[in-house]
Each structure stands twice: as structure tokens, then as C-alpha cells.
Amino acid sequence: MLGLVVCGGSRHAGAARRAGDPGSAAEAVAGLCRRRREHLCPMPRCSLYSLCLLLCVLLPLYNNASEPEGPAPDPAHYSFSLTLIDALDTLLILGNVTEFQRVVDVLQESVDFDIDVNASVFETNIRVVGGLLSAHLLSKKAGVEVEAGWPCSGPLLRMAEEAARKLLPAFQTPTGMPYGTVNLMHGVNPGETPVTCTAGIGTFIVEFATLSSLTGDPVFEDVARRALKGLWKSRSDIGLVGNHIDVVTGKWVAQDAGIGAGVDSYFEYLVKGAILLQDKELMSMFLEYNKAIRNYTRFDDWYLWVQMYKGTVSMPVFQSLEAYWPGLQSLIGDIDNAMRTFLNYYTVWKQFGGLPEFYNIPQGYTVEKREGYPLRPELIESAMYLYQATGDPTLLELGRDAVESIEKISKVDCGFATIKDLRDHKLDNRMESFFLAETVKYLYLLFDPNNFIHNNGSTFDAVITPYGECILGAGGYVFNTEAHPIDPAALHCCRKQKEEQWEVEDLMREFYSLKRSRKSTFRKTAAGPGLWETPTAGKDASALENQKVMNIKKDSRRGVPLLRCPSQPFTSKLALLGQVFLDSP
């Protein structure tokens, strides 16, 4: 009833688009962007519209089929609050502060995790824990009254912690790798299958490390790291991981290796974890995988599926979920490869107006039973990252195409329906949670270069906490795999602040007094190079750990700094509008 009332008002004639704009493609797309932004929030009472969208998620009845890494079907009320949490920070990024505040209130009153529900550990983590954490960290920006200990405490953080604690029983396995499903009230069910997909094991470090840093309880980060180590040990001789593994025995059940469904966010979290935590170990793991992926799965800038032990091609398909890869590559500075792969994927989009779940590359067509496009965000996500890097109007063109597809194909009276079959654009009666949480968000961010999320460090907030002063909101947000942004500065604020503060104070005293005292000692310090480096290794908490990794990897990567991006080659200036350059021979 409410949904219909609200949506009746929101229906508006699709803004007539004059394509004959004589300006350049970029101008046309920029104009489009402005109109799009209005379109996504068409009414003055946008709040109701967004709520309408939320309700629409449930209107298409819950369908438990088809999602590759899919969750077990949860009761409707659980899924409802899940969607509410999931779409929360989208509201803020779209600039709707009042609605954000209201939903925060609703959540605090209504959400209860002490329910008898079998929930997917992976989904609960990325949507609920991730969504609550990002909402917690953004709540000050949204004008929510925060308590004194923020960002290291707060009601949403406590909710996230509560939700995460419900997941901890799943990690009690011999290998440290978690079960796929857990009952929120009773823990792991007795007859639970021990087979979990790779992504379901390696997709915790961003949320759990954030949680550990903010709350000070290391248990979350520890279990996440243990799970990652479990996977790292299980990789094949040629350095690949399969699709599903038995978490009790550590044996691979599905041995297809690739970068798509079932594996995707594992690689994503290795990189994002490395960025978020400035962690060399995670990065060295990723670089090893990256090498194997390039060697065995890459063909003409496509990434295929191979047998994880032999490296032989098992499925020459491109999956819609794989489209996150260019974005990930651009984060670590591999922009030319990213662009080449992106352009490949874009041709698929142009063929169908969306990305089919599976696309057979040699045949150039969809794969039987995998023709759907549930409005997934991955390609748009990559476009957003790449547009930040290159400013190539081709990427805005993808954005335009996505907006056209979403509006022309999937828009129904109330919400945006999943495309059931890309060949004829049949629609399914459902709208996925990630459409609001991710697709809309990334699309908006692609067209909005001045969004606070894109802050490059030119503005920031100085927040006084009981533990000292923190610099927050300085940009560099790390998105979890469900597009919930995490501010790396907040982690630093709650984790390091206390130890660091006094050290910094001592150094500052030296900075001022040194001028006199050092006159005598200067020669000495100059004589001993590396004098200041020795205390560094000792002081830094993770340094020991890092050194260990470095020792292991010493032979393979000497002199290549791990946590650095390579600077771009000269040809990158001209690598625009579809032009790509091969590595110079």
C-alpha cells in the first residue's frame, strides 16, 4: 500500500534526452550526468522515493534461486533490515542526510540479531557488518549526533560488533577457514556442510580489521587473518586457488581457478586490506596470485577459468562478476592492463545492454541458463575507478549506457527489476539489494567528481576524541565488496593513536630543541646512515611480521616496494578513447 502510494508519485516521464547535442562527447555526457543525478532522486521528497525503492526490494518476492555465491534464503524481516542497512550509506552519498538520520534511528530501534535465522556468513559480513561500519564512520558527516568516543565507539559500531560476534562460531574449524552458514542464535548447525567458496573465506579482513581497530578487540582481525592464511597455504603448486574448499579437511572441492564468481572478493580484499592496513604481507600474497593469474588465465586481456593444478583452460567464459578486476588493477597502478580488459568487457555490454552472468568468449554469445543481468555493479565500479585515473570519456560513455539500460530496460512502476534474460530483455520480479547499495552508488560517483568520497586530501575533519586528535575524512576511502566506504584514517585513529602520540611528542620536542643540541651530535648522526631506521623496525607493531614475510619473499622481490604503485609510462597520456599501448619491447 505504502509502496504504491509513494511510487505513484515518483513515476515521472523519463527526461527527454536530446542526443543531438553538438558539443563534444564529454560535454554531452556531463549534461547527461546532471540529468541523471536529478533522475536518480527526482522529487523534492526524495526520502519517500528512496524508501519506496527499499520496499520494492521485497515486492518482487524473495527468490532463492540462482545467485552463484548466493546466500541461504533468510526470513523476510531479516532480509528487510539487511537491505535497509545495505542501502544506508547510498543515501548519504546521494546527499540525502535527513533520510540517513531517520534510517539510523529506525535501525537502532528495530534491528535485533538474536534471532533464529541461518545466515550466510559472507553476506552478513559484507552487508550488515560492512554497512553498519560505514554508516557508523559516516554518521558524523551525516549530521548524526555522535557520542564522545566516536569514532571508536557508537551505537552502530556496537551493532556491527554484535553482528560480527554472531559470525565468530563459524570460524571454529581446524583450518581456521569459516563455514558458509551460521545460525545467528545457535551457532553452526550440526549438519552444516563444510564446503565453502573461496570468497566466503577470504572476504573478512576489511570489515574485521576495521572492527578490531575501532573496538580494540583483536579477535576479529585474528580470525580473518587466520582464514586468509588457511587459503594461502591451500593454494596449488602453480599458485592458484580453486572455487570451493572443504574447511575441515582443507581439500579443494571445486578446482576451477579464475577471478570471478566464488573467488572474486578474495583477491579484492587482499588488495584493499593491504591499502587499508598498509600491510605488506597481504600485498605480497596478492602479487603472487596476480603473477599466476596473468600467466595461466589471461588471454588477450580476457581472464578465463583454468584448472587450478594444471593450468589448463576449463571454461572460456567471462563472468559478469569478473568485471571488478580492472578497478582493482587501477588501484594498484596497473592502469594500462585495466583499461584493456575494461574495453573488452565494454564490448560485451554494447552487444546486450548489460553483462550476462556468463559470456562465452569464443562463441561471442551468452551461455545457456546464465543470460541474466541482475543490474550488477562491477563494471560500473571499474569505470568509476578508471575514470578517476584516466579521465577517459569512454568510461562516462559506459555510465551513460548503464543509465540508459537501467531506465529503458529494467525500470518498472516500482523500482528497477532484474533482467532475467539479456537476449530479449525479459524481466524478473525482483530487485537485488546490491542495486541500491552498489550500482546506484557507483553510477552516481562516476558522474559526480566532487563527491566527498573522491576527496583527494584537500579537505579533512579534525575530530577530538578522548584518545587524542584524529584527522578523518581525508579521502582514500576503501570500499568493501558491497560498496561500503571505510575511512582508513579512522582505523589509524583508534588503533595507533595512543601509542603514537607520545612518540610524536618526543620527536617534536627534539625538532625544536635539536637545533641546539644537535650541533654537537650532527656529525655523528650524519656519519651513521640508517641510524634512525633501526628504531623504526622495532617500534612498528607490524614490522616484525612484515620482516618475516620479507624474508620469505626475499629472493623473488628485492627492491620492488610492495605498497607502491608504479608511475605511468609516457604513452599513458595518449591512452584514451579506446587507444591502448603495448609494453615497449
Partner 1 sequence: MSLCGGRGGGSGDQDGGEGGEGSEGSGGSGGGSSSPAPTGPAGLLCQRLRGASLMARRRPELLCGVVAVGCALLLALKFTCSRAKDVIIPAKPPVNFFSSRSPVLDLFQGQLDYAEYIRRDSEVVLLFFYAPWCGQSIAAKGEIEQVANRLADQVLFVAINCWWNQGKCRKQKHFFYFPVIYLYHRSFGPIEYKGPLRAVYIEKFVRQVMMPLLYIPSRSELLDFLSNYEPGVLGYFEFSGSPQPPGYLTFFTSALHSLKKDYLGTLRFGVITNKHLAKLVSLVHSGSVYLHRHFNTSLVFPREVMNYTAENIYKWALENREMLVQWLRPHGGKSLLLNNELKKGPALFLFIPFNPLAESHPLLDEITEVALEYNNCNKSQVVEQLLQHLRHVDSSTLDSLVSNPPIQLAESSSITESPCCNTVVLPQWHSISRTHNVCELCINQSTGIKPSKVNVPQCSFFEIAAALDSFYLKERTFYQVTSDSIECSNFLSFYSPFSYYTACCRTMNRGLMSFTNSEEDIFQSPPIALSSHEKKCEVDNPTSVPHIEESLPLFPDVDINSTSITGLSCRTNKTLNLYLLDSNLFWLYAERLGASSSTQVKEFAAIVDVKEESHYILDPTQALVKPTLESFIQNFSVLYSPLKRHLIGSDTVHFPSQHIISEVTTDTFWEVVLRKQDVLLLYYARWCGFCASLNHVFIQLARLLPPDKFTVARIDIGQNDLPWEFMVDHLPTILFFPGNRKDLSVKFPEDSAITLPNLLKFILRYSDPISTGGSSADPQTKERLQNEAVLQKGHIAHLEKEIHKLRAEITTLHQAQAQVESQLSDARRDKHRLQKQKQTLEKQHSVLQLHSEQLEALYEQKTRELEEMAAKLQELADASENLLTENALLKILVATMEGKLENEESEKSNTLRETLSHETEIQSRDNTKLATNMSSPMASEQNNENRTD
Catalytic residue list: 123, 264, 357, 378
Instruction: Return the number of the residue (61 or 114) whose C-beta is nearest partner 1.
Output: 61
- Residues that bind partner 1 (rule: CB under 8 A) add up to a total of 147
Q: Binding to partner 1 (CB under 8 A): which residues in 481-510?
A: 488-489, 492, 496, 500, 503-505, 507-510
Instruction: Return the number of the residue (6 or 188) whose C-beta is nearest partner 1.
Output: 6
Instruction: Return the number of the residue (168 or 543) whose C-beta is nearest partner 1.
Output: 543
Smallest gap from Cβ 184 to partner 1, in A, equals 19
Instruction: Return the number of the residue (185 or 514) whose C-beta is nearest partner 1.
Output: 514
Q: Which of 173, 284, 405, 433 binds partner 1 (CB under 8 A)?
A: 405
Please tell me whether residue 72 binds partner 1 under the rule CB under 8 A.
no
Q: Binding to partner 1 (CB under 8 A): which residues in 261-280?
A: 271-272, 275-276, 278
Please tell me whether residue 535 binds partner 1 under the rule CB under 8 A.
yes
Interacting stretch for partner 1, rule CB under 8 A, among 132-140, 188-196, 220-228, 532-540? 532-540
Please tell me whether residue 521 binds partner 1 under the rule CB under 8 A.
no
- Does residue 104 contact residue 54 with C-beta atoms inside 8 Å? no
CA distance 288 to 236: 12
Phi/psi of residue 515, each to 5°? -50, -35
What residues form DSSP beta bridges with 182? Answer: 119
Smallest gap from Cβ 319 to partner 1, in A, equals 19
Please tell me whether residue 78 binds partner 1 under the rule CB under 8 A.
no
Please tell me whether residue 351 binds partner 1 under the rule CB under 8 A.
yes
DSSP H helical segments within 216-334, as ranges?
Answer: 219-234, 264-277, 280-296, 325-331
Please tell me whether residue 567 binds partner 1 under the rule CB under 8 A.
yes
Q: Which of 15, 72, 148, 552 binds partner 1 (CB under 8 A)?
A: 148
- What are the Cα distances from residue 37, in Å, to 15, 75, 448? 11, 34, 8
Please tell me whether residue 8 binds partner 1 under the rule CB under 8 A.
no
Please tell me whether residue 450 binds partner 1 under the rule CB under 8 A.
no
Q: Binding to partner 1 (CB under 8 A): which residues in 362-391?
A: 364, 385, 388-390
Q: Which of 110, 249, 295, 363 binds partner 1 (CB under 8 A)?
A: 110
Strands 313-315 and 305-307: antiparallel
Instruction: Return the number of the residue (58 or 253) whose C-beta is nearest partner 1.
Output: 58
503: amino acid identity, one letter: E
CA distance 497 to 463: 12
User: Given phi > 0 = left and psi -120 to 50 = alpha, else beta, which region is 496?
Assistant: alpha
Question: What DSSP assignment string belongs to 16-37?
Answer: P--TT--S-HHHHHHHHHHHHH
Please tell me whether residue 564 binds partner 1 under the rule CB under 8 A.
yes
Instruction: Return the number of the residue (60 or 71) whose C-beta is nearest partner 1.
Output: 60
Q: Which of 218, 412, 451, 452 binds partner 1 (CB under 8 A)?
A: 412
CA distance 135 to 486: 9
525 is in an annotated binding site: no
Closest to 239 measured CA to CA, from 556, 481, 545, 554: 556
Q: What sign does the dihedral 326-327-328-330 (CA atoms) show?
A: positive
- Does residue 239 contact residue 291 with C-beta atoms inside 8 Å? yes
Question: What DSSP assignment string belongs to 72-131?
Answer: PPPPHHHHHHHHHHHTHHHHHHTT-HHHHHHHHHHHHHH----S--EEEHHHIIIIIIHH
Q: Which of 15, 106, 185, 552 binds partner 1 (CB under 8 A)?
A: 106
Please tell me whether residue 469 binds partner 1 under the rule CB under 8 A.
yes
Please tell me whether residue 229 binds partner 1 under the rule CB under 8 A.
no
Smallest gap from Cβ 570 to partner 1, in A, equals 4
CA distance 401 to 407: 10
- Does residue 381 contact residue 327 with C-beta atoms inside 8 Å? yes
Q: Binding to partner 1 (CB under 8 A): which residues in 413-442?
A: 417, 420, 423-429
Please tell me whether residue 102 binds partner 1 under the rule CB under 8 A.
yes
Annotated binding-site positions for Ca(2+): 481
